[in-house]
Amino acid sequence: MREKTAQSLRPQHNDAIWTASPAPSSTSGPAPEDGAEMLNRQRLDAFTHARLWKNPCGFAARFNYLALRYNVPLYGWVKERFDLSRVEFVVIYSLAIQDGVTASEIASSTAFPKNTLSRAVNRLAGLGYVARRPDGDDRRSQILTLTEAGRAVFDEALPRFAGLEQEMLAPLSLVEREMLSMLLAKVVLAMFHGENRAADGSPQPLAEM
């Protein structure tokens, strides 16, 4: 049985962003701009100000705002260029990052429902973007690999996805980007551990989900 826990989801090139950093010293520089000052400087309209900073679910609202500003144009282009849905392209993207995984593993790492992923995999296989073979460790599963055609789709799309991410992060310094990455990683791992636990409370291997 292949077992991959949340530990294997950590980026290997920079583990530092997954560990807590000491609080900044009060003598390390000027205090960061608070939300009101930033909004006044950026001159956001009153409703956007209220929607993003006076919202009782403000963090979720900001996450959703950024996700929509990123996902809507990019997946609209993917649909127009390749006639692929968002979840279908997510499968291609996932296999480009790590080839030779199961649909269950992709579902766990992306939060898409398994049945949605299964339909996407079936269509991608029919289009020749994904190949399937039996999992030698679990006959109920299939190992997914990206074909040359699937890799070509990813290679063409990646500059657009990476470019928009860099535009969104442009206001942040390298230190701020590392801090943001660390904080988001803590939230993601907390959600992962909360949802993916066995009956005894221990982390549940992805291959068994």
Q: What is the mean pLDDT of each run of 10 residues along the chain (209 residues)?
A: 42 36 43 53 73 86 94 98 98 96 91 92 97 84 95 98 97 96 93 62 39
Q: Does residue 57 sit within a domain?
A: no
Looking at residue 51, its pLDDT comes to 81
Q: What are the angstrom distances between the C-alpha of 38 and each of 42, 48, 178, 181, 202?
A: 6, 13, 21, 21, 43
Sequence letter at residue 7: Q
Count of domains forming the chain: 1
188 belongs to a structural domain: yes
Q: Which amino acid type is present at position 209?
A: M
Confidence at residue 185, expressed as pLDDT on a 0 to 100 scale? 94
pTM of this prediction exceeds 0.75: no
Q: What are φ and ψ of residue 146, in 5° steps? A: -85, 130
Is the separation of the CB atoms in 49 and 61 below 8 Å? no
In this predicted structure, what is the pLDDT of residue 45? 78
Domain assignment of residue 193, yes or no: yes
Q: What residues have CB less than 8 Å from 21, skipping those under 6 apart? A: 179, 182
Residue 145 lies in a domain: no
Residue 178, domain member (yes or no): yes
In a domain, 199, yes or no: yes
pLDDT at res. 111: 87
Q: What phi and psi values does residue 164 have, to the nearest 5 degrees?
A: -70, -35
Q: Is residue 78 part of a domain?
A: no
Provide the residue range defining the domain that includes 202: 172-209
